[in-house]
Structure 1
Amino acid sequence: MTDKRVLIVLHQETSTPGRVGQELVRRGFSLDIRRPRFGDPLPADMQHHAGAVVFGGPMSANDPDAYISREIDWIGVPLKEQKPFLGICLGAQMMVRHLGGKVAAHPREEVEIGYYPLHPTETGKSLMSWPGKVYQWHNEGFDLPRGADLLATGDTYPNQAIRVGPRAYGIQFHPELTHAMMVRWTTKGAPRMAQPGAQGRQDHFAGRFVFDGAVRKWLDDFLDLWIGRADKA
């Protein structure tokens, strides 16, 4: 019988899994939250987990910290076992690093902080419908590693969503964002809104009012595709 726990990897003391966590619980899963940065171990195998989500954070997948290297190496565990894996922003970049790809800043040092257009590829369209704009908060992007399928592109950072094998996905954007998270991010991260390409705080909240319904619908469809429901596992 498949375990009903989903491994949640977070990178700050105050981080939460947001809407992704809420939706997984609603689907009957429990959350096994771990913070390797603060000493939590990661499992040697996925025997007792239905899937794993590695979330974002202000650090870089290129940082020399030991826990970054350990997480990048560990991603090979769900990939090898073909268990559902989702990397969000930093988590996606870590998966790309694990696969031998590169993570780097934009050549003109542009960032995506706010809502930006998303363009699904034909492969992406064959899987589900995608929102027209998604919420971003990053200053690095990833290239397309060998063997990965490109599912969605963007105007500033071309690789926005990828699939690796049958069960692993990486996305650059943040469908987990709740209103409370937006308040916290735009308050603590206010200086970053002065960077090239970033949107002002008011635009973040205006964009959420317009675009969040489609993002919520996409997340529901994606979770159906990615992990389903615990009682049907």
Structure 2
Amino acid sequence: MPSRRLSAVALRHVAFEDLGLLSAVLDQAGWAVSYCEAPADDLTDPVIEKADLLIVLGGPIGAYEDNRYPFLGKELALLERRLARDRPTLGICLGCQLMARALGARVFPGLTKEIGWGRVDLTDEGRASSLSPLAEEDAEVLHWHGDTFDLPDKAIRLASNAAYENQAFAFGKSGLGVQFHLEADSRQLEEWYVGHAVELMAAQVSIDGLRKKVAALEQRLPSQAGRIFTEWLRPLAIGRESVSRRSVRRPPAAVSADCTR
């Protein structure tokens, strides 16, 4: 009997901020991927709770705005449970900040809005992690945030830059938060330029400048994302397959309609 495909659920906050380049990496590694729309879907659905991997994507709201966006309370509770059990969890931008808050750290507005392509500086731990390709001379990532966070207790800082001390962290054996974007490509970003038009205008960021920069990086970005995410996913897959072999065999739960869009 063929082994069960490992399940990955992506929590999406706005439709155009999706898995991007990470989608192909997951597919090639054999993961079964579904989306849940965080503002509208039931975040207590067992499909999410029991997923082998949870990916929390970005979005244009603050991780501290649960009074304005009540669904954030359920999302934070979900993250608290997963991280307490060291279940594989990846947070990107807002997702990284939500992970930090779920771990008890402060998330707050930063001193500067960081939008555009640039480098990050890896710590010694970062150089020894799956993020190591970012130490290469021509490596750049997409920054697109105005908030930041304090490093959670027991988390390990992996990256920083001149603007923000905390750009990426690891927690436990299978938690990774990155405040920047490794998954974005030129096609996906065309939707961002429309969806974030008001923010870009307010920040006086040139869309043409962003287009030119991503065009210059376009050949590198898929390889960079592939190397980083493949390396990060590999031990997760081995670990989850080992758990599955030790577990009592049960029929896989049906995926709910809410979590397959």
Q: What range is the shorter-chain TM-score in?
A: 0.7 to 0.9
2 CA distance for matches of 1:190 and 1:12?
14
Alignment partner, residue 34 of structure 1: 36
- Shift, 1:133, TM fit: 1.9
Q: Which residue identity is paired with 1:104?
A: F
Alignment partner, residue 10 of structure 2: 8
2 CA distance for matches of 1:98 and 1:2?
30
Alignment partner, residue 109 of structure 2: 105
- What is the TM-score with the length of structure 1 in the denominator? 0.88
Is the 1:84–1:226 Cα contact (8 Å) retained in structure 2? no
Is the 1:62–1:103 Cα contact (8 Å) retained in structure 2? yes
- Shift, 1:209, TM fit: 2.4
Alignment partner, residue 49 of structure 1: 51
1 CA distance for matches of 2:73 and 2:237?
35
Is the 2:100–2:106 Cα contact (8 Å) retained in structure 1? yes
Alignment partner, residue 207 of structure 2: 201
SS in 1 for 2:181: coil
SS in 1 for 2:184: coil
Is the 2:17–2:58 Cα contact (8 Å) retained in structure 1? no
- What is the TM-score with the length of structure 2 in the denominator? 0.79
Q: Are residue 216 (structure 1) and residue 218 (structure 2) matched?
A: no
Is the 1:105–1:140 Cα contact (8 Å) retained in structure 2? yes
SS in 2 for 1:216: helix
SS in 2 for 1:159: coil
Is the 2:16–2:188 Cα contact (8 Å) retained in structure 1? no
**Aligned counterparts, 1:32-181, within 5 A:** 32-44=34-46, 48-63=50-65, 64=67, 65-107=69-111, 110-127=112-129, 128-130=132-134, 132-181=139-188
Is the 1:5–1:30 Cα contact (8 Å) retained in structure 2? yes
SS in 2 for 1:227: helix
User: Is there any run of 5+ residues in structure 1 with no aligned partner, and where?
Assistant: none
Alignment partner, residue 228 of structure 1: 234
Q: Are residue 20 (structure 1) and residue 22 (structure 2) matched?
A: yes
Moved more, 121-130 or 85-94: 121-130
1 CA distance for matches of 2:198 and 2:51?
38
2 CA distance for matches of 1:87 and 1:140?
14
- Shift, 1:48, TM fit: 4.6
- Shift, 1:104, TM fit: 1.3
Alignment partner, residue 254 of structure 2: none
Alignment partner, residue 189 of structure 1: 196
Superposition RMSD in Å: 2.4
Q: Which residue identity is paired with 1:74?
A: L
Q: What are the superposed Cα offsets for residues 88-136 of structure 1, whole Å, 9 maximum, x if unpaired?
A: 00110001001111111123xx211111221111111112221632112
User: Is there any run of 5+ residues in structure 2 with no aligned partner, and where?
Assistant: 242-261
- Shift, 1:23, TM fit: 1.7
Counterparts in 2 of 1:191 and 1:40: CA distance versus 1, 3 Å = same
Moved more, 10-19 or 169-178: 10-19
Q: Which residue identity is paired with 1:181?
A: Q
Greater CA radius of gyration, 1 or 2? 2
2 CA distance for matches of 1:225 and 1:42?
30
- Shift, 1:179, TM fit: 1.8
Moved more, 202-211 or 144-153: 202-211
